[in-house]
Amino acid sequence: MKAISYWTTTGILALGLLAGGAAELARYQPTVERMVHLGYPVYFVMIIGAWKVLGGVALLVPRLPQPKEWAYAGIFFNMTGAAISHAVYHDAAWHVIVTLGFAALASWATRPLSRRLGVLFAVKAGEGEI
């Protein structure tokens, strides 16, 4: 059940990142207008789009624990920042809810222990402690 939960959330996140990143890289006009509405410069659309595509790929490629950790952190920071931006500009509540939903999906709660960096590189008691 945990594997199904992990792949469901990972699939939703990856699809959202890849679709959103592709729209930003393609400079899809409604996406650009939304970013400008939130006060971001147009060039930022390309930067965030590239990061989203890279993050979506990192989530789907097996055996890349560190890039996956970076992707999860990036998703969390991006989506919480987007939620705050939408709230500050008094956008429709669904904008805030959806972005916070993606941030919640990026949590480490459903990730298998074998894919958590802290477990992969855990220091045994007494070793390497200062």
Would you kindly state where each structural domain of the chain is located, as residue ranges? Answer: 2-120
With H, G, I as helix, E, B as strand and everything else as coil, classify residue 83.
helix
Give the Cα separation of 66 and 116 in Å (integer). 9
**Residues 6 or more apart whose Cβ sits within 8 Å of residue 101:** none
**98 CB-contact burial (10 Å; exposed 0-12 / middle 13-18 / buried 19+):** middle
Q: What is the pLDDT of residues 15-47, one digit of tens each?
A: 999 999 999 999 999 999 999 999 999 999 999
pLDDT score for 7: 84
Q: What is the pLDDT of residues 58-77, one digit of tens each?
A: 999 988 888 988 999 999 99
pLDDT score for 4: 85
**Residues 6 or more apart whose Cβ sits within 8 Å of residue 40:** 85
